[in-house]
Amino acid sequence: MKKLLFHLHTEKSYDANIKIEKLLEYVIENKIDYFCVTDHQSFEACKIIEKLLKSKKYKKYKNKTKLIRGMEIKTEYGDAIPCFIKKEIKTRKFLEVVKETRKQKGLLIIPHPFSSHKNLNEIVKYVDGIEIFNSNTSKSRNEKSLQLANENPKLLRIAGVDAHLMSELGNALNEIKLGKKIKIKPILCKSSGYVKANIKHAFIHGLNFKKDLLKK
């Protein structure tokens, strides 16, 4: 089994400040075999990372750590993470995201299922897995997510680090085995503190918003 770091936000997300090269340094130093970048509505960081891994600086690490391309897309039913995709998914309609993910032979994961999702019992019929733990979600919501997974045993169970800051990268980890049938097992679930984490992310969002206004 290999190590998987799932649900990462970089500086290309409006509420995160993880520098792309700092993220690469982290996964290399910590011997992370696979890392899944899931910026909000953006595929830009995935493209940048792929170029960096082919560059002279990182070329020797290309086979030691691998990027899993993903996005966190806000749909009418809540957030969805298509991963193992080849190109950006531009639609924001849930069923169209499902269709496009299948077309690209990717996996569709529901992150933090009990954070503002609608019609959960219906949408889980269309996805491949759910986060049974999210390090920036409350304990009670994570417990509900685990219960939902127990009610839907065919779903993959994933621990999402949901990192927006470098300090959050070590809060969740999975083991993954690739093949005809992907197997994922959470092996580390450490809470960032629901209230504290969301205050920090809101603060970063405000700073990034101000920077964008100054640029204009």
Report the CATH number that the domain containing residue 48 is assigned in CATH: 3.20.20.140
Beta strands in the chain (DSSP E): 2-8, 34-37, 66-69, 73-75, 78-83, 107-110, 129-134, 156-160, 172-177, 183-189
In this prediction, residue 213 carries a pLDDT of 47
pLDDT in tens, the chain (216 residues): 899 999 999 999 999 999 999 999 999 999 999 999 999 999 999 999 999 999 999 989 988 999 999 999 999 999 999 999 999 999 999 999 999 999 999 999 999 999 989 999 999 999 999 999 999 999 999 999 999 999 999 999 999 999 999 999 999 999 999 998 999 999 999 987 665 666 667 666 576 655 554 555
Euclidean distance between CA atoms 143 and 145, whole angstroms = 5
- Structural domain including 24 reads 2-215
- Cα angle, residue 191 at apex, residues 6 and 49 outer, rounded to 5°: 25
Give the chain's domain count.
1
